């Protein structure tokens, strides 16, 4: 056996095809014998491609030991480009959801069978999910968001407190807040009329990552994208929730309600549920902005 802290190779059965070395420079064939590069111990990101590429199936990632890996399905089991176009073009950000709970198993399937395979920088697999299905907690979240927004509006409308804010925060942040105040005021009007505006009355999936993660924001966005598309195929719909994502990060009492770890930031939030509105057409889009060089 050839072994380090992350990988075991049943070297007696190695045919020296070098498929592992062609993909990953941590595998070296020295006079026809497989060796690990010195940096492998520290720098291997456990992406598992060596395992997936080895025709003899003699490489094992230690953290996987015992787990039988699925064979790659044949090409005819993949969706066609045409069916993918239909999926991508019919996905909508829903603003209305049925008052019908989403079965936990469906979200579990999406997370385990789809999102677990979405790419992460350095294969860090450091994306966390908090699924909020409890109606009381959703209500609490919504109320806290409203409280925070009302306070923000009040602060901005008090000249003295606004001056204090301007002195304490960078101008770019102040400008951003000033820009959203009119939208917030409209939301408060809708709330007074009984509408739930922050999570569209739906269950939510909060996607978060350690603040010090290398590509945390990108990883969260990619995970969200996988969820959105997978949800469509299960008869569910989603909506990106930009405001509530910011509230989790900027207003501590909001994140506290669902116990987002203090060392994490929220990269994306999705409402998820059964669609209420029926769409007849695909909305128009502006031409793609592309430069060919």
Ligand X SMILES: Cc1cc2nc3c(=O)[nH]c(=O)nc-3n(C[C@H](O)[C@H](O)[C@H](O)COP(=O)(O)O)c2cc1C
The rounded distance, in Å, linking the Cα atoms of 214 and 267 is 13
Minimum separation from the CB atom of position 243 to ligand X (A): 5
CA distance 172 to 11: 58
The candidate with the shortest Cα–Cα distance to 119, out of 210, 199, 48, 20, is 48
Closer of 54 and 227 to ligand X (Cβ): 227
The DSSP call for residue 193 is T
Work out how close the CB of 209 gets to ligand X at its nearest, in angstroms, rounded to a whole number: 15
Nearer to ligand X, 236 or 239 (CB): 239
Distance in Å, CB of 125 to ligand X, minimum? 22
Min. distance of Cβ 285 from ligand X in angstroms? 8
Identify the helix (H) or strand (E) that includes residue 45.
Answer: none
Nearer to ligand X, 49 or 92 (CB): 92
Do β-strands 59-61 and 7-9 pair in parallel, antiparallel, or remain unpaired?
Answer: antiparallel
For 220, how many CA atoms within 13 A lie in the half-sphere containing its CB? 24
Nearer to ligand X (CB atom), residue 40 or residue 220: 220
The three state secondary structure string of 14-36 is: CCCCCHHHHHCCCEEEECCEEEE
Nearest residue (CB) to ligand X, 262 versus 277: 277
Residue closer to ligand X, measured from CB, 91 or 140: 91
| CB of 45 vs ligand X, minimal distance in Å | 28
CA distance 167 to 161: 10
- Report the residue closest to ligand X, judged by CB: 242
CB of 268 to ligand X, least distance (A): 7
List Cα–Cα distances, 194 to 140, 151, 242, in angstroms: 15, 20, 21
Give me the residues that bind ligand X (CB under 6 A), please: 92-93, 95, 239-243
């Amino acid at each position: 056996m050839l072994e380090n802290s992350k990988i075991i190779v049943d070297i007696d059965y190695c045919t020296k095809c070098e498929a592992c070395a062609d993909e990953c420079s941590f595998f070296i064939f020295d006079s026809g014998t497989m060796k690990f590069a010195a940096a492998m111990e520290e720098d291997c990101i456990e992406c598992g491609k060596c395992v997936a590429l080895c025709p003899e199936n003699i490489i094992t990632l230690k953290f996987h030991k015992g787990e039988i890996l699925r064979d790659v399905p044949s090409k005819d089991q993949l969706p066609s480009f045409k069916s993918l176009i239909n999926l991508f073009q019919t996905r909508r950000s829903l603003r209305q959801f049925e008052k019908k709970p989403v079965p936990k198993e469906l979200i579990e399937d999406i997370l385990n069978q789809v999102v677990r395979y979405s790419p992460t920088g350095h294969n860090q697999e450091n994306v966390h999910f908090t699924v909020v299905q409890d109606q009381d907690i959703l209500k609490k979240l919504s109320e806290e968001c409203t409280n925070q927004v009302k306070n923000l509006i009040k602060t901005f409308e008090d000249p003295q407190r606004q001056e204090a804010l301007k002195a304490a925060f960078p101008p770019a942040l102040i400008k951003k807040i000033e820009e959203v105040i009119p939208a917030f005021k409209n939301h408060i009007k809708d709330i007074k009329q009984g509408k739930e505006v922050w999570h569209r009355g739906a269950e939510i999936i909060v996607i978060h990552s350690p603040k010090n993660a290398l590509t945390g924001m990108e990883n969260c966005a990619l995970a969200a994208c996988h969820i959105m598309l997978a949800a469509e195929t299960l008869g569910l719909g989603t909506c990106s929730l930009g405001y509530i994502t910011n509230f989790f990060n900027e207003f501590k009492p909001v994140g506290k309600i669902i116990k987002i770890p203090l060392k994490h930031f929220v990269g994306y939030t999705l409402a998820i549920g059964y669609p209420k509105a029926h769409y007849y057409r695909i909305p128009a889009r502006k031409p793609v902005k592309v430069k060919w060089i």
